[in-house]
Amino acid sequence: MKAPALLLLPLLLCALSACEQLGIEDPAKLAEAKDAEGKAIGSACRHSGRALEDCYELNKGALKASVFAGWKDMNDYMAENKIDSVKPEVPASKPSKPAEDEADAEEAPAAKTTARKRAVKADSGAH
């Protein structure tokens, strides 16, 4: 009875070691990938001549420590090899506002204009 159980144990360990094939993600590998992506973003920002703060603003989902590490590494590399920044051809786009905010922003000037007209009428009627 012990022999089949001992043979089953290595088979079970082999099956569990293939969790990635089952779609179970490894947290350590996910963290490593996110760190590598942050470093790549930071390097690209520095190479394009963007300030570190701009890079943070444009890539809010990236880890700041990783972005900084990539930016610093690229800065050191560019200084050592006397490489100039490459100006980006595509302008950075700010995250768009939700539709509600845009509608409110469009209505606000119209409301201000109407309020000003009422104030002018009230002032002219008082004289």
The dihedral through the CA atoms of 65, 60, 42, 29 has a sign that is positive
pLDDT (tens digit, 9 = 90+) per residue, 59-118? 999 999 999 999 999 999 999 999 999 887 777 666 555 555 445 554 555 555 555 555
Report yes or no on whether pTM surpasses 0.85.
Answer: no
Provide the percentage of residues in the chain whose pLDDT is more than 90: 43
Rounded Cα distance, 64 and 45, in Å: 13
Per-residue pLDDT averaged across 4-26, rounded? 66
Domain ranges for the chain? 26-94
CB distance 34 to 63 below 8 Å: yes
How far apart are alpha carbons 95 and 117 in whole angstroms? 35
